[in-house]
Amino acid sequence: MESGFGSDFGSDFGSGGGGAGGKLDPGLIMEQVKVQIAVANAQELLQRMTDKCFRKCIGKPGGALDNAEQKCIAMCMDRYMDSWNTVSRAYNSRLQRERANM
């Protein structure tokens, strides 16, 4: 996932905006940056969730997860995602209110 996107981003960014006479398209660059940030945020979310849930649920790593560990991991991930979504909604709502007040 990461290697293909990163190489596409770099080649698009350095190509001069395609057929626009060598000029960079600020809109295209901004969209690429937004996508890159979204990918980085998703990767960070997954990494943090994995670390926290592994530490919480897996006492002694082995070759397979037992039923209790599987249930713990599933519940932990569900709670983590619910929390992440709640915080994200609140953050976005606050940003919208602040932008409206400008």
Total-model pTM: 0.61
H helices, E strands: number in the chain: 3, 0
pLDDT at position 102 is: 84
Cα–Cα distance, 58 to 73 (Å, whole number)? 8
pLDDT at position 57 is: 96
Q: Does 26-101 carry CATH code 3.90.420.10?
A: no
Tokens of 29: 């660059």
* Residue that wins the pLDDT comparison between 71 and 1: 71
Q: Read off the pLDDT of residues 4-31 as tens digits, 9 standing for 90 and up.
A: 444 444 444 444 444 455 678 888 999 9
Q: Read off the pLDDT of residues 21-57 as tens digits, 9 standing for 90 and up.
A: 567 888 899 999 999 999 999 999 999 999 999 999 9
Cα–Cα distance, 64 to 87 (Å, whole number)? 33
> Are 78 and 98 within 8 A, CB to CB?
no
* 29: Cβ contacts below 8 Å, ≥ 6 apart: 13, 17
